[in-house]
Amino acid sequence: MRIILDTNILISAFLSKRGAPSQVIIFAEKNTVILFSKETMLEFITKILSKKFDSYASTDDRNDYIKLLLRDGEIITITEKSQIAETKKTICF
């Protein structure tokens, strides 16, 4: 199984270690391969390192999280865009 996560999930998981987005990350790390598009990862890095998040975590902590995601995830290239994402199974947390 593979899972694609967007910027909002990645940021929310970082900010709240006990929230649903964090549970998604934990589940994904244990059970699947996390996929990121280049565009999503660039957007995430730009947002998480912005001054807006200075009061939530140190730059070092944010850089460590980025390194963790890059180490454990897989960067993919989007070759085709779709308006609707269909899934065979919905996983609820």
pLDDT digits (tens, 9 = 90+) for 11-53: 999 999 889 999 988 888 889 888 888 989 999 999 999 999 9
pLDDT of the residue at 78? 80
Whether the pTM exceeds 0.85: the reply is no
Whether 9 contacts 43, CB under 8 Å: no
- The DSSP bridge pattern shows strands 33-37 and 74-76 to be parallel
DSSP string, 11-48: HHHHH-TTSHHHHHHHHHHHHSEEEEEHHHHHHHHHHH
Question: Who wins on pLDDT, 68 or 1?
Answer: 68
Per-residue confidence (pLDDT) for residue 93, from 0 to 100: 46
pLDDT number for residue 88: 53
Which residues are CB-contacts of 68 (< 8 A; sequence separation ≥ 6)? none
Handedness of CA 86, 33, 27, 47 (dihedral sign): negative
The verdict on domain 2-76 having CATH code 3.40.50.1010 is yes
